[in-house]
């Protein structure tokens, strides 16, 4: 039963202003309260259980220098063709040495290069060697064990062992050190543990590999790992994984984005070259201007899903690369289709299958669940216009072998009907405010929608509060329509904030070598992802000022009603909630707000804007609530029987 607007005319204006006093004394208020009526008996749509997830790729040093916890830059000496970039010589006092990129020798056919250190003069007091400065510094913490490893060979056995040390840039203090066995003239991997004592945390450090005698040494795959999330070998950075976990994401779309396609066919994400021992991963050039170590390979994407209880949304390379290279549909494309089938088998196959057995051998006998496979990325940009036929070839093969999979197209096709279409929206605030009802009247007979990349592009390197408001406005539309919007993911997810660390203007989470922060948009994602019912129930908002958005979802089993309110205006908005069922008087209120749209979080001020949880004690089947200016709020109401 709804109460109509006139009932509230009698509410004393004074009371309203008393209420607003708690918001801010100088706040202007929309002249009339709005009415939000909610009919809990009327379910309009089932909320997709996979609505909110993550989209990721190697951009902005997302993995190398980001989530992937490796601390050594250019560890495989493959980042540049003319020099061992990221490495410098150590030759103090009387020591004398030189170094060069060696193209002809390396520890494997895939890592065929190395860094050659030639030491003319060195001693135990004055060792010579090489140093690596990491990705804008090497973060070192106290009382921590680091795992170092490297491949090396020497021109003669008398060269002796290698000492690996972590050294502070400013003081020269050795923070931790360990020494290997003596080298031999054959390539061999050496592993060491470096333990720090009671030191203060900093990023102004480097790693050194030194010898105490003259001779030549070749190095490759030099690695240093701090403790990782869930203690996974070759794993991920703890702070970033915790931030992602807090979003409560339901899926991970990988490996791209443009990173899937590569600039050239030879630079695509060739999954078979990203699995198995690191020494057998050749690395590859990414379209975002730097080399990828491929330490974050197919299996690492999958264990990342496992760690955060997300389902994989696998994008398979579909024969189109960014510099307008494509593979003609037909026999030429067949090996690429087979690669995709093999990839699906690697993920889902039992150990009796060829690729399932390979996965087991790589350390994960248990198959992973898989529901969604995407064919390509943004193929509307392919000027050869072959996507329809390429899609059909992939679609038919995948359908035949894996009829249970949902197949996602990246643009419209005529020859087949994809289960979902991936739509991308990079926009400014006003575009999202004006289009928050985009899906309200969408064709419900066609494929479902995967909003696989979207973001309000306001501010750099991470969005400001204006961005968060527009994001939240847009998300209310995604939720209201999550009968057709099955999945949605903000992009890009991660950015290194160091100079030249970012290749995209606006990104969700920022970090340097040591610490990370969530942008206001990140917190909007956190509160939306953690307050979502299973049904969209009927709701009607009347009389709200401009730029006010809402969505209402209900978890009938738990009796919890989630009312999301987005006020992107500088005026407070009073709302009279009129619910068709009684609710408990006490309700939870989560608020994310800022004084201005320009306000933001940064690496130095990471928590200027964070959600605040409070309680309201005056909820009921009708009650007044005032939404502060520039705010995103979620009311969680407990519905009574
Ligand atoms: O998210 C950045 C890029 O935007 C993605 O790689 C690409 O799919 C899109 O054009």
3-state secondary structure 621-640: CEEEEEECCCEEEEEEEEEC
Task: From the CA of 378, give the closest atom in ligand 1.
Answer: 8
At 543 the pLDDT is: 97
453 CA distance to ligand 1 middle (Å)? 7
Three-state DSSP state, 278? helix
Ligand 1 pocket, mutate which of 286, 491, 503 (most atoms under 8 A from CB): 491
Tens of pLDDT, residue by residue over 532-591, are 999 999 999 999 999 999 999 999 999 999 999 999 999 999 999 999 999 999 999 999
Phi (first) and psi of residue 311, to 5 degrees: -90, 145
Structural fold of domain 34-48+533-638: Immunoglobulin-like (2.60.40)
Contacts of 445 (CB under 8 A, 6+ apart): none
505 CA distance to ligand 1 middle (Å)? 12
Task: From the CA of 377, give the closest atom in ligand 1.
Answer: 8
Q: How far apart are CA 444 and CA 158, in angstroms?
A: 75
Pairing of strands 420-427, 406-409: parallel
Instruction: Report which of 579, 560, 474, 617 is spatially closest to residue 35, judged by C-alpha positions.
Output: 579
Query: Six-digit token pair at 511?
Result: 């970090």
Q: How far apart are CA 320 and CA 390, in angstroms?
A: 9
Q: How far apart are CA 31 and CA 57, in angstroms?
A: 47
Q: How far apart are CA 219 and CA 107, in angstroms?
A: 9
At 26 the pLDDT is: 57
Residue nearest to atom 2 of ligand 1 (CA): 492
257 CA distance to ligand 1 middle (Å)? 5
Residue nearest to atom 4 of ligand 1 (CA): 257
Tens of pLDDT, residue by residue over 321-342, are 999 999 999 999 999 999 999 9
Residue nearest to atom 7 of ligand 1 (CA): 257
How far apart, in Å, are the Cα atoms of 275 and each of 351, 594, 624? Answer: 16, 45, 57
Task: From the CA of 426, give the closest atom in ligand 1.
Answer: 4
Homologous superfamily (CATH) for 87-225 = Galactose-binding domain-like (2.60.120.260)
506 CA distance to ligand 1 middle (Å)? 12
349 CA distance to ligand 1 middle (Å)? 30
Q: What is the mean pLDDT of each run of 10 residues along the chain (641 residues)?
A: 26 33 56 94 97 98 98 97 95 96 97 98 97 98 98 95 98 98 98 97 98 97 98 98 98 98 98 98 98 98 98 98 98 98 99 98 98 98 98 98 98 97 98 97 94 98 98 98 98 97 98 98 98 98 97 98 98 97 98 98 98 97 98 98 80
579 CA distance to ligand 1 middle (Å)? 42
Three-state DSSP state, 121? strand
At 23 the pLDDT is: 40
Instruction: Give start-end residues of each CATH 2.60.40.1180 domain in the chain.
Output: 34-48+533-638
Task: From the CA of 55, give the closest atom in ligand 1.
Answer: 1
Residues pairing with 424 in the sheet: 453
Q: How far apart are CA 373 and CA 394, in angstroms?
A: 10
The dotted CATH code for 54-70+229-529 is 3.20.20.80
Ligand 1 pocket, mutate which of 253, 287, 410, 424 (most atoms under 8 A from CB): 424
Q: How far apart are CA 631 and CA 592, in angstroms?
A: 6
Ligand 1 binding pocket, CB closer than 6 Å = 57, 59, 256-258, 377-378, 453, 491-492, 504
At 7 the pLDDT is: 25
Dihedral over alpha carbons 618, 619, 624, 625 (to 10 degrees): 90
Phi (first) and psi of residue 246, to 5 degrees: -65, -15
Instruction: Give start-end residues of each CATH 2.60.120.260 domain in the chain.
Output: 87-225
247 CA distance to ligand 1 middle (Å)? 21
Phi (first) and psi of residue 387, to 5 degrees: -60, -40
319 CA distance to ligand 1 middle (Å)? 17
Task: From the CA of 492, give the closest atom in ligand 1.
Answer: 1
388 CA distance to ligand 1 middle (Å)? 21
Adjacency order of strands within the sheet including 163-168 = 87-91, 128-132, 205-211, 163-168, 174-179
28 CA distance to ligand 1 middle (Å)? 40
Ligand 1 pocket, mutate which of 261, 492, 494, 502 (most atoms under 8 A from CB): 492
Q: How far apart are CA 50 and CA 628, in angstroms?
A: 31
57 CA distance to ligand 1 middle (Å)? 9
Task: From the CA of 57, give the closest atom in ligand 1.
Answer: 6
Ligand 1 pocket, mutate which of 292, 374, 377 (most atoms under 8 A from CB): 377
Residue nearest to atom 5 of ligand 1 (CA): 257
Q: How far apart are CA 229 and CA 68, in angstroms?
A: 10
Residue nearest to atom 8 of ligand 1 (CA): 257
DSSP letters along 26-93, please?
Answer: T--B-SS-EEEEEEEEEEEEEPPTT-EEEE--S-TTSIIIIIB----TTTTS-S-SSS-TTEEEEE-T
At 16 the pLDDT is: 35
Instruction: Give start-end residues of each CATH 3.20.20.80 domain in the chain.
Output: 54-70+229-529
Query: Six-digit token pair at 341?
Result: 């089938």
Residue nearest to atom 3 of ligand 1 (CA): 257
């Amino acid at each position: 039963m709804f109460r109509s607007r006139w009932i509230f005319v009698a509410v004393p204006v004074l009371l309203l202003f008393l209420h607003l006093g708690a918001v801010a004394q100088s706040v202007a208020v929309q002249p009339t309260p709005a009415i939000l009526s909610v009919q809990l008996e009327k379910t309009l749509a089932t909320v997709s259980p996979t609505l909110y997830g993550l989209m990721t790729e190697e951009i902005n040093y997302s993995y190398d220098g980001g989530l992937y916890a490796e601390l050594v830059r250019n560890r495989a000496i493959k980042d540049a063709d003319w020099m061992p970039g990221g490495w410098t010589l150590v030759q103090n006092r009387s020591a004398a040495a030189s170094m060069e990129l060696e193209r002809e020798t390396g520890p494997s056919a895939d890592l065929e290069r190395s860094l050659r250190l030639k030491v003319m003069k060195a001693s135990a007091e004055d060792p010579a060697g090489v140093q690596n400065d990491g990705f804008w510094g090497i973060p070192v913490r106290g009382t921590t064990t680091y795992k170092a490893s490297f491949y090396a060979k020497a021109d003669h056995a008398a060269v002796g062992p290698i000492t690996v040390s972590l050294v502070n840039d400013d003081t020269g203090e050795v923070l931790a050190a360990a020494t290997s066995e003596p080298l031999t003239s054959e390539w061999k991997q050496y592993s060491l543990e470096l333990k720090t004592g009671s030191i203060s945390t900093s990023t102004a450090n480097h790693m050194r590999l030194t010898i105490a005698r003259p001779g030549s040494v070749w190095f490759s795959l030099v690695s240093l790992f701090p403790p990782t999330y869930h203690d996974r070998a070759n794993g991920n950075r703890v702070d970033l994984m915790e931030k992602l976990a807090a979003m409560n994401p339901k899926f991970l779309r990988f490996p791209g984005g443009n990173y899937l396609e590569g600039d050239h066919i030879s630079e695509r994400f060739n999954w078979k070259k990203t699995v198995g021992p690191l020494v057998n991963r050749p690395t590859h050039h990414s379209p975002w201007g730097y080399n990828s170590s491929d330490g974050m390979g197919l299996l690492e994407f999958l264990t990342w899903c496992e760690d955060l209880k997300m389902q994989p949304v696998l994008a398979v390379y579909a024969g189109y690369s960014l510099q307008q290279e494509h593979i003609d549909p037909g026999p030429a494309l067949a090996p690429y289709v087979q690669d995709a089938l093999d990839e699906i088998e690697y993920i889902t196959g039992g150990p009796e299958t060829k690729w399932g057995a390979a996965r087991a051998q790589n350390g994960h006998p248990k198959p992973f669940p898989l529901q969604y496979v995407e064919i390509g990325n943004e193929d509307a940009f392919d000027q050869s216009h072959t996507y329809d036929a390429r899609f059909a070839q992939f679609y038919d093969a995948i359908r035949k072998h894996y009829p249970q999979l949902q197949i996602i197209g990246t643009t419209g096709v005529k020859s087949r009907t994809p289960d979902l279409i991936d739509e991308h929206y990079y926009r400014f605030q006003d575009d999202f405010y004006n289009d928050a009802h985009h899906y309200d009247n969408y064709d419900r007979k066609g494929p479902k929608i995967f909003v696989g990349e979207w973001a309000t592009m306001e501010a750099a390197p991470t969005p400001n509060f204006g961005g968060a408001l527009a994001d939240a406005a847009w998300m209310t539309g995604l939720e209201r329509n999550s009968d057709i919007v099955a999945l949605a993911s903000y992009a890009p997810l991660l950015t290194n904030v160091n100079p030249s660390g970012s290749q995209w203007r606006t990104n969700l989470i920022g970090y340097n070598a040591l610490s990370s922060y969530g942008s206001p948009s990140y917190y909007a994602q956190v509160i939306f992802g953690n307050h979502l019912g299973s049904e969209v129930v009927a709701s009607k908002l009347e009389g709200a000022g401009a730029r006010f958005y809402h969505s209402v979802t209900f978890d009938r089993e738990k009796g919890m009603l989630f009312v999301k309110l987005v006020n992107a205006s500088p005026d407070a908005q009073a709302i009279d909630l009129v619910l068709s069922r009684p609710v408990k008087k006490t309700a939870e209120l989560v608020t994310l707000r800022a004084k201005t749209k320009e306000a933001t979080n940064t690496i130095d001020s990471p928590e200027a804007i964070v959600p605040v949880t409070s309680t309201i004690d005056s909820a009921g089947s009708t009650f007044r609530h005032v939404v502060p200016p520039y705010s995103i709020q979620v009311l969680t109401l407990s519905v009574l029987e």
